[in-house]
Amino acid sequence: MLEQEYAFYLADTDAGKSIHYALRYQVYCLREKYEDPARHPNFCEQDEFDDSSVHFIARSVRTGEWLGAMRLIIGPVQNLPVTKFASLDPANFSYNSRTDFAEASRLCTLLPSHLRASFASNSRQSRGSCACASKTLQTSWIAMGLIRAARRYCLDHEITYCFFLVSDPLARMLRRLGMNIEPVGSPCQHRGWRRPYIHNVETGYRVMQKRSPELYRMFCQTHAYYYHSDLMEPFESAPIAALA
């Protein structure tokens, strides 16, 4: 399903990064209201960590709409934003101040237009809970595709560990899918209660083979993303999905 419905790209061009920042604006400024839209008059949400990040974007194969984004912030542990918001316990992971780690950040997803219309119709017909479950499934596929792309980038660049600052329910969901993440600090208040977790991109998927075999097969593939610079079409021809 993942390969047939969505394509994932490393935003290696200015246009690709603009898509990434615009998706973040839609979700972090307009939908979730984590960030003040007035601070981003160009409708692109950016911060000081983007210069040390690689950016990923997801697209609907069917509609061509851009639907999701995530970045990997790369650097020594002390330079990552997780250390700004949470207190880490280095005893819980192998730590070397000269080694680069990654932190997954700004994960956001939107639904393609044809699915938004379908789910809205289902909701009007009193099947709201089914529509909600379907929305969650679709956005989860996009999120896992972005995580898979980020994992492949880490493997290709000899980065073993990736941090996540996420809620405990989201951590439990990732574990149910077979993705091993371990807590490395106490909960902190950052857009709700969140806890720092660490993930080994080399060994953290062994359980997935049994729990989510289809997902595991996709995570084992060596090809996980394209490059935005390889797209032949102009930037303007690829719309960003609207908020649901």
pLDDT at 122: 55
**SS3 breakdown of the chain: % helix, strand, coil, rounded to 5?**
45, 25, 35
The answer to whether 57 and 15 are in contact (CB under 8 A) is no
Residue 216 resides in a domain:
yes
- Structurally, the chain folds into a number of domains equal to 1
Residue 123: in which H helix or E strand, if any?
Answer: helix 113-124
Model confidence band, residue 138 (pLDDT cutoffs 50, 70, 90): low
Question: What residues make up the domain containing 223?
Answer: 2-237
Tell me, yes or no, whether 243 lies in a domain.
Answer: no
Q: Is 160:204 a contact under the CB 8 Å cutoff?
A: no
Q: How confident is the model at residue 93 (pLDDT cuts 50, 70, 90)?
A: confident
| pLDDT, tens digit (0-9, with 9 covering 90-100), for 182-198 | 999 999 999 999 999 99
Per-residue pLDDT at 203 exceeds 50: yes
User: What is the rounded average pLDDT for all residues in the chain?
Assistant: 87
Let me know: does 219 contact 146? Beta carbons within 8 Å: no
243 token code pair: 């908020």
Looking at residue 140, its pLDDT comes to 84
User: Contacts by 12-15 with C-beta closer than 8 Å and gap 24+?
Assistant: 12/227, 12/228, 12/229, 13/228, 13/229, 15/228, 15/235
Q: Is the pLDDT of residue 123 over 60?
A: no
In a domain, 244, yes or no: no
Q: Are 112 and 60 in contact (CB under 8 A)?
A: yes
CATH number at residue 128: 3.40.630.30
Collapsing DSSP to helix, strand or coil, 132 comes out as helix
Nearest one of 139, 89, 94 to 116, comparing CA atoms: 139
How much is the pLDDT for 211? 92
Q: What is the pTM of this model?
A: 0.88
